[in-house]
Amino acid sequence: MGTSVESTGEPADILLVEDNPGDVRLTEEALDEGKVDVNLSVVSDGEEALDFLHQRGDHADAPRPDIVLLDLNLPGKNGEDVLEEINEDEMLSRIPVIVLTSSAAEEDIVRTYDLRANAYLTKPIDPDEFVEAVRAFEAFWLRIVHLPPES
């Protein structure tokens, strides 16, 4: 049975897939101030995200993330491509994927849930609201939710 990350006492391994340095910084700040110890890995495009998840190339020693925070608007392979590939891989498909993106378009929301995203969060424009959204993510996904064990 899975346990909440907080109850294990182990740091949460989070993969942030984000190409905007400002959003990366705000996410890091929010998680640093959170109540759960986090190991945050950051990649800036979809191809690198897939290399990280498959532990290929420069990411051969990458940890298996407990959760993926995924932007949709990425250079090269976009977030939807990454979601699709995650879901096609039995070893990766249990990793919760939280879409954290600037789009509030209904078609993006529907499409990502069709691709089995676990949640869809629209990035607030205001930096303080952005940090608050990341803290809410941390509170729910890392302290309350029971995550699946590694396959």
Question: Does 149 fall in a domain?
Answer: no
- Residue-level pLDDT, tens digit, the chain, 151 residues: 455 665 566 888 999 999 999 999 999 999 988 888 899 999 999 999 999 999 999 999 999 999 999 999 999 899 999 999 999 999 999 999 999 998 888 999 999 999 999 999 999 889 999 989 998 998 898 888 887 777 6
CA distances in angstroms from 54 to 31, 57, 83, 147, 148, listed in the order given: 25, 9, 13, 20, 18
CATH number of 86's domain = 3.40.50.2300
Q: Which token pair is 30?
A: 């929010």
Question: Does 150 fall in a domain?
Answer: no
Question: Does 151 fall in a domain?
Answer: no
**Cut 0.85: pTM above it:** yes
pLDDT of residue 1: 44
Domain coverage including residue 106: 5-144
Residue whose structure tokens are 């608007």: 73
What is the DSSP pairing of strand 12-17 with strand 38-43?
Answer: parallel
Total number of residues shown for the chain:
151
Element (DSSP H or E) covering residue 39: strand 38-43
Number of domains in the chain: 1
What is the DSSP pairing of strand 12-17 with strand 67-70?
Answer: parallel
Alpha-carbon gap, residue 88 to 92, rounded angstroms: 8
CA distances in angstroms from 25 to 21, 86, 108, listed in the order given: 6, 25, 25
Question: Does 93 fall in a domain?
Answer: yes
Q: Which token pair is 77?
A: 């392979």
Question: Does 113 fall in a domain?
Answer: yes
